[in-house]
Amino acid sequence: MNRLPQDLHIHTIFSRSDSAVVPEQTVELVAAIAHARIIGISDHLESIAEDFPTYADTVRACGLLVGTEVNGADWLREAEEVDVRYYVYHCRDRGEDYRGAERLLATGKPVIIAHPLVLETDLRRVPPECLIEINNRYTWRNNWRTLRPFVGSFLFVFSSDAHQPHWLNQNVARYAARELGIRETLLFSEDRRAALAQIAKSGNTG
Ligand SMILES: [Zn+2]
Ligand SMILES: [Zn+2]
């Protein structure tokens, strides 16, 4: 099977409040399908905060990376407390959410700006250390060409934002990225460090 390099935005039945998730979307099934070489689960923090250890243990037991999707500045305190490897962050166009991104970066963990076009995130206000997501679930619905001015000033990741087993792909996200000439950044590898150094050298204008 031709596996994707990376998918860090995936929901499972732990996202209880998300009606798009089907009962078959278990961590175990995502791990068994193994559609990517690096797989992280990013269930909504609102759903997992209450019993984080059960969530984290389940994800780790399946050999996957533990992440979470954080719904803006309102969830910062909980986000800082949970032991995740990375954040997928809802950054709406409001000052507290941009400041929230800074605060999450201060944890030293990667911060992925989730589907910025859907949330009308102003990327000029996003710290350049954040990674920008091109997301298979939503990208086709928005004018992703508006990302073009930011191609040289951020690192990008592609993701499925899968809520159901058959969403575990990135065909639309990769089409948009190809058109924009974006090279994918792989987190948790040497690749990210090299890409960061490259972007620092070229000067950040974003
Ligand atoms: Zn989201
Ligand atoms: Zn999501």
Structure tokens at 117: 């076009």
pLDDT of 151 higher than 80: yes
Supply the range of the domain harboring residue 18.
4-202
Nearest ligand to residue 11 Cα: 2
Give residues whose Cβ lies within 5 Å of ion ligand 2. 69, 161
Look up the CATH number of the domain holding residue 164.
3.20.20.140
* Distance (Å) from CA 83 to ligand 1 centroid: 20
* Distance (Å) from CA 202 to ligand 2 centroid: 32
The residue with tokens 């209450």 is 50
Nearest ligand to residue 21 Cα: 2
* Distance (Å) from CA 193 to ligand 1 centroid: 26
Name, in order, each residue with C-beta under 8 angstroms of 134's C-beta and a sequence gap of 6 or more: 144, 147, 156, 157, 158, 159, 173, 176, 177, 182
Q: What size, in residues, is the chain?
A: 206
- pLDDT score of 192: 63
Stretch 154-167: mean pLDDT: 98
Report the domain count for the chain: 1
**pLDDT tens digits, one per residue of 58-71:** 999 999 999 999 99
**pLDDT tens digits, one per residue of 121-142:** 999 999 999 999 999 999 999 9
Cα(193)–Cα(143) distance, integer angstroms? 30
**pLDDT tens digits, one per residue of 179-204:** 999 999 999 877 666 666 666 666 54
- pLDDT score of 205: 45
Nearest ligand to residue 15 Cα: 2
Q: Considering the chain, what is the average pLDDT of its residues? A: 94
- pLDDT score of 2: 85
- pLDDT score of 189: 76
Is the pTM higher than 0.75?
A: yes
